[in-house]
Structure 1
Amino acid sequence: MAPDSDRDKNSTPIAVDPRDPEFYQNPYPLYDLIHRGDQTFFWKNYDHWCFTGFKDVSSLLRDRRFGRQILHVATRDELGLPPPKPHVADFDQTEKHSLLALEPPEHTRLRGLVNRAFVSRHVEQLRPRIAQLANEMIDTFIASGDTDLIQNFAAPIPAIVIAEMIGLPAEMAPQLLKWSNRMVAMYMFGVTEATERDANQASIEFMDYLRSQITQHRRAPREDLLTHMLTAEIDGTRLNDDEVISTAILLLNAGHEATVHTTGNGVKSILESGIAPATLFASEAQVAATIEECLRFDAPLHMFTRYALADIEFGGRQFTKGETIGLMLGAANRDPKRFNQPNKFDPFRNDGGNVSFGAGIHFCIGAPLARIELQIAFSELFRRLPHLRLAEPPSYANVYHFHGLQRLDVAW
């Protein structure tokens, strides 16, 4: 929806192509520009308003007048939306029951059935396994003197951890990553039909695999999340197979994506900062603070969208029912009104905090697990490789929403 003259009088529309390498390699100069104004702007390329202020983003993440779902309160005809594309029907099926795409009461029911597996006291028990995996990965490349840290360290660890939690074989992790990467490509700006068809095929293969696993788990129940989703009840109801499959795919995709990006972005930030790694991992408290600064300084997700669920007002602007807004997580984390020297990587700052995991009912269900994975992986990496350094200038992948490195070539 294009801005009309009244709504646009306080903010100049901005045209920045999210596929422009100059932008997605470093979006922070744009954020700095926006922060010098009223921190809200109309992004012409996306055709919606965006919020960059930490206070606004934090508030909107919790504002129940905006939601991740819209077709539960309006029809496609009412909103002027095109019909679904037949060639992505299977991909759409994986999203139909996704926690990220639902609002209460469906969201409440699904999250309630899954949440207990991710509470802090449960994921704390995974610390020894995560440390074991981190060291096993390091063992595979330490003798070579160099490696691509994304492929050989950042990606495998969270993929194996979430697969094992769900109840899938660790050896399936590489295949799960391939399916996930093909599906996540759907969130690129200006996605092509070829990408859509490939993501749809990956969805078919992923769902077929999970159906076979559901059959096995029904025959032989186990102590894992998949069995729990198949057997647990809330108010006398259980998840159906489609709901279990959507939830498993979301957990697998989201359960590694942000952690991979934060590992790559965070190691890059540490190595470029010049701060001695030994000072960053000297205590549990400092390890935790370092990870939070990594999440703030170079966030793994830069935009999260919401629909206005009714005609409403926020921040002096009117939004019509069905209108999309963009919550700029990466920009909010660099808000100079919230952080002192926001463009400085400072793991010792006393004004920490971030919105990288979201907030409100859609706060990342895997945040406790991700934090533990990052704390252990970073600690083990810099303990084993104290002289780690960048071997090549890192570059970010062309997927603006998901802000992560293509490669991280390091040496020691």
Structure 2
Amino acid sequence: MSVSTGLTLSAAAPFALADRHVSAQPRELAFYRDPYAFYDAVHAASPAFFWDNYDHWCFAGFKDVSLLLRDKRFGRQILHLMSREQLGMAPPKAHTAAFDQTEKYTLLNLEPPAHTRLRALVNRAFVSRNVEQLRPRIERLANELIDGFAADGQVELLRAFAAPIPAIVIAEMIGMPADMAMQLVDWSNRMVAMYMYGVSYETELDANQASIEFMDYVREMIAERRRQPREDLLTHMLTTEVDGEKLTDDEVISTTILLLNAGHEATVHTTGNGVKAILESGLDPKALFADADQTEATVEECIRFDAPLHMFTRYALQDVTLDNGLSFKQGETIGLMLGAANRDPSRFAEANRFDPFRKDGANVSFGAGIHFCIGAPLARIELQVAMQTLFDRLPGLKLATEPQYKNIYHFHGLERLEVSW
């Protein structure tokens, strides 16, 4: 497929598509504030395209993304099959050694059998029937937070409401004190910056320092649990055997940090993006949260419409030729465009319209296959309870200023969300 016309987001941030190649700068303001203009262009031109800035193929179509997330010929890890030299990878950076250590045993990057072993250990805590029991705690927490600012008439909603709920809930599940939640958020935010395009040396140093502090804290908690076990997930990880073996401390540390980071980051973005979408839609919140079924549908549309994660990469674990004729050598990277897939016009009627009453709702925001988000049931309950409580308690809620997105692509979330009532 060939597209000869360069398409433009703005004079400051052009992107062009030609012969299935794309040039687009994800750190430019016009791009990260509205990547959907870019997605519209690639859907119209070539939903499978080579993104020159990333130097790999990307897939934007809902069907392709959904299938490739499940395709076991692609995986999150490759160094168990090929060396850095074979892949042309640079050696590990000494100044990010601590960050790399946190990634070494993370569920997000492992492949079977290591992934299967670790996931089996923690999965029980996150199944729907177990997290459903947290609903009263989440509702109580949401009301307590709103009590703290309801009389003020205005608030920055992300820090006052969206961030504390998932951070406190996941901290308590693991067995950490609620008053540590915002410190955990700080460490997490600094570490997550490592996933951005074009990370600076200063960002790498800061993420590494955050990793050191985070690991030191988890080690302290591990030592405490060994002295005094409790009924929490951290104790469970330390004491339960998997295939006749216990997890090492390094595995427990990586898993704990992943659960804390992933357990709040995406939910914060989805809460902010969702509240923004609802307020900008002009729809009556009473109708959007009229009952449990409609609340669930509204949250699912928030997750689809403005996803918190926009690209997830995979390695080819073997030489692969896809049905569309594209071929990949073992070790090559592909990008799966979750945010674009959720706006695929061939899958969704009026894909760019926020419609909590749509009948064709679906999304790939939580991934699929063996790396489907383990915390999805918890995230859905947190979002349902938080949003319904917020709009019930503050029926006059409105945007006080125009929300602006953070420069954090692949992630997609707001810098601030100033609201009033």
- Aligned ranges 1:100-249 → 2 under 5 Å: 100-249=108-257
Q: Which residue is 1:262 aligned to? A: 270
Distance in 2, matches of 1:388 and 1:35, equals 35
Q: Which residue is 2:69 aligned to? A: 61
Q: Which residue is 2:369 aligned to? A: 360
Match of 2:400 among 391, 398, 402: 391
CA offset digits 1:140-164 (Å, max 9, x no partner):
1111100011110000110000000
Distance in 2, matches of 1:78 and 1:311, equals 14
User: Please, what TM-score do these two structures have when normalized by structure 1?
Assistant: 0.97
Q: Which residue is 2:290 aligned to? A: 282
SS in 2 for 1:126: helix
Residue identity in the other structure for 2:348: F
Is contact 2:20-2:48 (8 Å) kept? no
Is contact 2:20-2:46 (8 Å) kept? no
Distance in 1, matches of 2:213 and 2:263, equals 19
Structure 2: gaps (5+ residues)? 1-16
Q: Which residue is 1:13 aligned to? A: 21
Is contact 1:11-1:42 (8 Å) kept? no
Distance in 2, matches of 1:19 and 1:79, equals 26
Structure 1 segments, 4+ long, off by >6 Å, are none
Matched, 1:80 2:88: yes
- Aligned ranges 1:91-106 → 2 under 5 Å: 91-106=99-114
Tell me the CA shift for residue 233 of structure 1.
Answer: 1.1
CA offset digits 1:310-343 (Å, max 9, x no partner):
1111221011111110000000000011000000
Structure 1: gaps (5+ residues)? 1-8
Distance in 2, matches of 1:96 and 1:22, equals 35
Is contact 1:160-1:173 (8 Å) kept? yes
CA RMSD of aligned residues (A): 1.0
Is contact 1:58-1:359 (8 Å) kept? yes
Q: Which residue is 2:340 aligned to? A: 331
Q: Which residue is 1:402 aligned to? A: 411
Q: Which residue is 1:371 aligned to? A: 380
Q: Which residue is 2:360 aligned to? A: 351
CA offset digits 1:340-372 (Å, max 9, x no partner):
000000000000000000000000000000000
SS in 1 for 2:20: coil
Tell me the CA shift for residue 20 of structure 1.
Answer: 0.5
Distance in 2, matches of 1:110 and 1:47, equals 32
Match of 1:341 among 350, 354, 378: 350
Tell me the CA shift for residue 11 of structure 1.
Answer: 3.8
Distance in 1, matches of 2:309 and 2:19, equals 24
Q: Which residue is 1:292 aligned to? A: 300
Q: Which residue is 2:11 aligned to? A: none
Q: Which residue is 1:6 aligned to? A: none
Tell me the CA shift for residue 37 of structure 1.
Answer: 2.3
CA offset digits 1:55-84 (Å, max 9, x no partner):
000000000000000001101111111110
Tell me the CA shift for residue 262 of structure 1.
Answer: 0.3
Distance in 2, matches of 1:174 and 1:321, equals 41
Residue identity in the other structure for 1:199: A
Tell me the CA shift for residue 10 of structure 1.
Answer: 8.9
Is contact 2:139-2:385 (8 Å) kept? yes
Choose 311-320 or 253-262, whichever is displaced more: 311-320
Distance in 2, matches of 1:80 and 1:300, equals 31
Q: Which residue is 1:318 aligned to? A: 327
